[in-house]
A and B are shown apart, each in its own frame.
Chain A
């Protein structure tokens, strides 16, 4: 048989014929085997960590601890999402920890009674300040062509210095505004928890259903209706589980219940960034630049603009993380360890499944990686381990995550 006949023969079978649920799942599975593992490793890791801690200390999977875990994970998740943006571009941002600190300082300083800005204005100013920092660093990197590692390393030192200068040696600023402290400690009422969850799931269902139905109508490879329904059903079940969990009374002295606002903040940021990266042209260009900058340039993509925007969005997300951080501590002080925070942010993004080499990753990876890091911290804390042991275990998990990524990549035929 000649090569030509071989090609002609393959031509008769026109692509994969997708009929039932089983066929579609096997197509998905073949992609996983081909190296497109997505979030599977990190979700598996999270389950493993949960089972391990629960078996060692029955307190891990209680409502009170899980809600506490979600609140602890918020800052890690937000900073890891910030890091995902620059990692996708094939760059790195070492400054996100102290950029978050600057956001927190601006927020705390402006909302003091003697300055007296309303909470929303203080939040706006904090986000504006961090975005401006991102613009400055991004411009240095893209227009002058400095390496992002060096510019953001300088940023790490510089913004730490600015923070110390503003706060004074060992100083701190208290946050008294009830709305600002409520971001981390406040909760929705039980009823509102249900309403918000149902609205969110309904929105997700509508979007998913419409997209899949349009693909089916156009004769493209699409999940069968049954699978779309199952996806929506599973999301609804997860939502019900979450609301039942947070609505359970977890108080010790007084009743405490309800969905923490900060969970909504993280989910909201996740949805917006996932939409931007997944559905908009800008997001596609971020992936293209990270995958092959020269190809993107020849296709007419403005590299400098996309890269600068990536650093701005990263710093902005870090600013949101800083606001959540300050809200949780009800103050900002020089004890903020931006160096460790940024390393946790990079680790979170990578544990979640984002590649350090650019072009592969999602906002969701940052959130999941942040939750894994918080879970290790939380679970080992319950077991009474020291900070030393936590660092060691986090390091091992990070190495395992990178190994999984490397092995999966080797299976991808290049």
Chain B
């Protein structure tokens, strides 16, 4: 689905470079991020992953190169430009206000008003609806303060907030870094749901297990250069590690290591039948 020639990918980077003084953080990077798929971005520390998503989010506009949005050249020079296109970024710190409830956090900055007053009813309904659609059902009440949520629930709220903002592309920076096993499962399921609903997802993760669990495509950065972008069935963990460390790999993909993902898909189908 990702490589179909019919429609241009949602977001395309062509020859994007970014320097901070003498440091070349990104050099001539090409990347396609198609809708309806999870694109994982792998790379060692300092490989340029964070710089790349900051270019996409409008925090550090690229020095050179082209950004295409739905096939058209786009300028992303401010975070608001990215938001206007439909790009939402979920940072590692999540940017949630602990003292506000889930609804207030999800609508922060774009509250709905009714006769000049906050329209709590409409916002609460929309927030509950979005959480239900994303199958985030473990929260007791959407009027709970975010301070009382678990790490996975907070991550889910941050992602749901991004979805609520009519985003087409959701960029996530290490969404599972601080989570336990069950919480990680919850967030990865949410990432999958997002892609299945037609969103493009760009996921940064250090965790190879997570990447192979949820991604459709894997892009590997090394020293600011894109050294490989492959569909998940043409890559395995050892190839990713080779690419991250040396920039090349001669290995043939090992079908076994992409096994867990195939198994998960089957499980999804089973559940679909049960419902």
Partner of A3, one of B113, B117, B118, B185: B185
Is B70 an interface position by the 8 A CB rule? no
Is A337 an interface position by the 8 A CB rule? no
Which residues, 189 to 248 on A, are CB-close (under 8 Å) to B?
214-215, 218-221
The distance from the CB of B182 to the nearest CB of chain A, in whole angstroms, is 4
A219 vs B150: C-alpha distance when bound (angstroms): 26
A280 vs B128: C-alpha distance when bound (angstroms): 21
Is A284 an interface position by the 8 A CB rule? yes
Evaluate contact between A279 and B117: CB separation under 8 angstroms.
yes
Evaluate contact between A220 and B124: CB separation under 8 angstroms.
yes
Chain B interface extent, by class: 35 or more
Evaluate contact between B148 and A413: CB separation under 8 angstroms.
yes
Evaluate contact between B121 and A215: CB separation under 8 angstroms.
yes
Which residues, 122 to 159 on B, are CB-close (under 8 Å) to A?
124-125, 128, 132, 135, 137-143, 145, 147-148, 150
Evaluate contact between B118 and A284: CB separation under 8 angstroms.
yes
A295 vs B106: C-alpha distance when bound (angstroms): 11
Evaluate contact between A359 and B138: CB separation under 8 angstroms.
no
Evaluate contact between A359 and B98: CB separation under 8 angstroms.
yes
Give the nearest-CB partner of A27 in chain B.
B141
A280 vs B111: C-alpha distance when bound (angstroms): 10
Is A14 an interface position by the 8 A CB rule? yes
Is B202 an interface position by the 8 A CB rule? no
A385 vs B88: C-alpha distance when bound (angstroms): 63
Evaluate contact between A359 and B185: CB separation under 8 angstroms.
no
Q: CB-CB < 8 A to A414: which residues of B?
A: 98, 147
Q: CB-CB < 8 A to A298: which residues of B?
A: 79, 95
On A, residues with C-beta under 8 Å from B are 2-4, 6-8, 10-11, 14-16, 27, 34-36, 214-215, 218-221, 279-281, 284, 287-288, 290-292, 294-296, 298-301, 358-360, 412-414
Chain A to chain B: the 8 pairs with minimum beta-carbon distance, closest first? A299-B109, A291-B97, A3-B182, A359-B99, A291-B99, A295-B95, A11-B137, A299-B108
Q: List 16 A-B contacts (CB under 8 A).
A: A7-B185, A7-B189, A15-B128, A15-B137, A15-B140, A279-B117, A279-B118, A281-B118, A284-B108, A287-B100, A288-B97, A291-B97, A295-B97, A296-B108, A412-B145, A414-B98
- Known pairs A292-B95, A359-B99 / 17 extra A-B pairs, C-beta < 8 Å: A3-B181, A7-B135, A15-B141, A16-B141, A220-B128, A281-B118, A284-B108, A291-B97, A292-B97, A294-B93, A295-B105, A296-B108, A298-B79, A299-B109, A299-B110, A360-B99, A412-B147
